[in-house]
Amino acid sequence: MQLMTPMEFFGFEPGSDRTLADWQQMLAYFEHLDLASDRVKLTEMGKSTEGKPFINLIISSEYNMKHLETHRQNQARLADPRGLSDEDAKELIRIGKTIVMISCGIHSTEIAGPEYSMSLAYSLAAATMPNAEQILDNVILVLVPSLNPDGHQMITDWYRLNLDTPYEGGVMPWLYQKYVGHDNNRDWYSFTQVENRLTIEKIHNEWHPQIIYDMHQMGTTAARFFIPPYVDPIEPNVDPIIQQEIIWIGSAMAQELTAQDKKGVLIHAIYDAWNPARAFQHTHGGIRILTEAASCKIATPVTVKFEELSTGIGYDGKVRAWNFPEPWTGGEWHLSDIIEYERLATEALLTHAARNRETWLRNFLQIGRKAVNRQGSPFAFIIPAGQRATDSVYRLLRIFHIGQVELYTADRAFTLNSKTYAAGSFVIPSAQPYFAFAKCLLEIQEYPDIREYPGGPPQRPYDVTAFTQGLLMGIETVTVTEPLDVQLTRLTDVTPKSAVSPRTDASCYIVDPKLNDGFAFVNDLLQNGFRVERLTKTIETKEVVLPAGLWVVPTQVGLTKFMLAWAEKGLVITPWENGLPTCSLQPVRFGLYKSWTGEMDEGWLRYVLEQFHFDFESPSNEIIQAGNLIEKYDALILPNMMVKRIQEGLPESMVPAPYFGGLGEVGAAALKEFVNDGGVLIAIDHAVDYAIETLDLPAKNLLAKLPPKDFFIPGSLLRVCVNNEHPLTWGAEKEEPIWFQRSGALSIDEGTVLAHYPSSNPLLSGWMLDPQAQLNGRSALCEIPMGKGRIVCFAFNPIYRAQAQNTYKLIFNAILSAGIK
Residue burial 626-652, b: 16+ Cβ < 10 Å; e: rest: eeebbebbbbbbbbbbebebbbebbee
Q: Which residues contact 324 (CB under 8 A, 6 or more apart)?
A: 223, 264, 265, 266, 267, 269, 315, 316
Minimum CB distance to Zn ion, residue 290 (Å):
8
In this structure, the strands spanning 231-234 and 272-273 are parallel
Minimum CB distance to Zn ion, residue 77 (Å):
34
Using the contact rule CB under 5 A, the part of the chain among 24-32, 104-112, 607-615, 676-684 near Zn ion is: 104-112
Between residues 245 and 292, which has the closer beta carbon with respect to Zn ion?
Answer: 292
> Which residue, among 146, 177, 196, 195, has the nearest Cα to 20 in the 3D structure?
146
Report phi then psi at 166, rounded to 5: -65, -15
> Which residue, among 119, 97, 113, has the nearest Cα to 146 in the 3D structure?
113
Between residues 216 and 388, which has the closer beta carbon with respect to Zn ion?
Answer: 216
As a whole number of angstroms, the distance between CA 646 and CA 661 comes to 9
Element (H, E) at 35: helix 23-36
Residues forming beta bridges with residue 140, ordered by sequence position = 99
Between residues 246 and 671, which has the closer beta carbon with respect to Zn ion?
Answer: 246
Report phi then psi at 338, rounded to 5: -60, -45
Between residues 183 and 391, which has the closer beta carbon with respect to Zn ion?
Answer: 183
Q: Which of residues 653-682 bind Zn ion (CB under 5 A)?
A: none
Minimum CB distance to Zn ion, residue 145 (Å):
16
Between residues 148 and 425, which has the closer beta carbon with respect to Zn ion?
Answer: 148
Between residues 253 and 609, which has the closer beta carbon with respect to Zn ion?
Answer: 253
As a whole number of angstroms, the distance between CA 721 and CA 308 comes to 48
Using the contact rule CB under 5 A, the part of the chain among 6-14, 208-216, 380-388, 646-654 near Zn ion is: 208-216
Using the contact rule CB under 5 A, the part of the chain among 30-38, 167-175, 214-222, 274-282 near Zn ion is: 214-222
Between residues 71 and 216, which has the closer beta carbon with respect to Zn ion?
Answer: 216
Using the contact rule CB under 5 A, the part of the chain among 106-114, 167-175, 316-324, 596-604 near Zn ion is: 106-114
Minimum CB distance to Zn ion, residue 516 (Å):
31
Q: Binding string, 294-323, against Zn ion, x = CB under 5 A? A: ------------------------------
Sole binder of Zn ion in the list 107, 278, 388, 534 (CB under 5 A): 107
Element (H, E) at 509: strand 508-511
Minimum CB distance to Zn ion, residue 217 (Å):
6
Using the contact rule CB under 5 A, the part of the chain among 213-221, 368-376, 405-413, 498-506 near Zn ion is: 213-221
Using the contact rule CB under 5 A, the part of the chain among 100-108, 246-254, 278-286, 700-708 near Zn ion is: 100-108
Minimum CB distance to Zn ion, residue 336 (Å):
19
* Number of CB atoms found within 10 A of residue 730's CB: 25
Q: How is 62-106 classified by DSSP, letter by letter?
A: HHHHHTHHHHHHHHHHHHS-TT--HHHHHHHHHH--EEEEEE--S
Between residues 147 and 721, which has the closer beta carbon with respect to Zn ion?
Answer: 147
Using the contact rule CB under 5 A, the part of the chain among 32-40, 212-220, 297-305, 765-773 near Zn ion is: 212-220
Q: How is 357-372 classified by DSSP, letter by letter?
A: HHHHHHHHHHHHHHHH
The answer to whether 216 contacts Zn ion (rule: CB under 5 A) is yes
Minimum CB distance to Zn ion, residue 214 (Å):
8
Minimum CB distance to Zn ion, residue 194 (Å):
19
> Which residue, among 294, 302, 301, has the nearest Cα to 328 in the 3D structure?
294
> Which residue, among 320, 352, 336, has the nearest Cα to 255 in the 3D structure?
352
Between residues 216 and 594, which has the closer beta carbon with respect to Zn ion?
Answer: 216
Minimum CB distance to Zn ion, residue 103 (Å):
11
Between residues 216 and 357, which has the closer beta carbon with respect to Zn ion?
Answer: 216
Q: Where are the alpha helices (DSSP H) in 551-658?
A: 559-568, 600-611, 621-625, 643-648
Using the contact rule CB under 5 A, the part of the chain among 103-111, 121-129, 354-362, 384-392 near Zn ion is: 103-111
Using the contact rule CB under 5 A, the part of the chain among 8-16, 216-224, 671-679, 807-815 near Zn ion is: 216-224
Residue type, 566: W
Between residues 105 and 496, which has the closer beta carbon with respect to Zn ion?
Answer: 105
Between residues 216 and 334, which has the closer beta carbon with respect to Zn ion?
Answer: 216
Minimum CB distance to Zn ion, residue 176 (Å):
11
Helix/strand/coil percentages in the chain, nearest 5: 35, 20, 45
Minimum CB distance to Zn ion, residue 185 (Å):
7
Between residues 266 and 472, which has the closer beta carbon with respect to Zn ion?
Answer: 266
Minimum CB distance to Zn ion, residue 110 (Å):
5
Using the contact rule CB under 5 A, the part of the chain among 99-107, 447-455, 610-618, 710-718 near Zn ion is: 99-107
Minimum CB distance to Zn ion, residue 459 (Å):
21
* CA dihedral (190, 191, 196, 198) positive or negative: positive
Q: How is 161-221 classified by DSSP, letter by letter?
A: HTTTSTTTT---SS-SSTTTGGGGGS-TTT--SHHHHHHIIIIIHHH--SEEEEEEEE-TT
Cα angle, residue 202 at apex, residues 122 and 605 outer, rounded to 5°: 110
The answer to whether 32 contacts Zn ion (rule: CB under 5 A) is no
Minimum CB distance to Zn ion, residue 146 (Å):
13
DSSP state of 264: -
As a whole number of angstroms, the distance between CA 52 and CA 25 comes to 13
Element (H, E) at 250: helix 240-259
Between residues 34 and 183, which has the closer beta carbon with respect to Zn ion?
Answer: 183
Residues binding Zn ion: what is the number (CB under 5 A)?
3
Residue type, 208: H
Minimum CB distance to Zn ion, residue 442 (Å):
28
Using the contact rule CB under 5 A, the part of the chain among 158-166, 209-217, 309-317, 476-484 near Zn ion is: 209-217
Alpha-carbon dihedral of residues 85, 86, 88, 90, nearest 10 degrees?
A: 160
Q: Binding string, 252-291, against Zn ion, x = CB under 5 A? A: ----------------------------------------
Between residues 147 and 804, which has the closer beta carbon with respect to Zn ion?
Answer: 147
As a whole number of angstroms, the distance between CA 625 and CA 666 comes to 6
Residues that bind Zn ion (CB under 5 A): 107, 110, 216
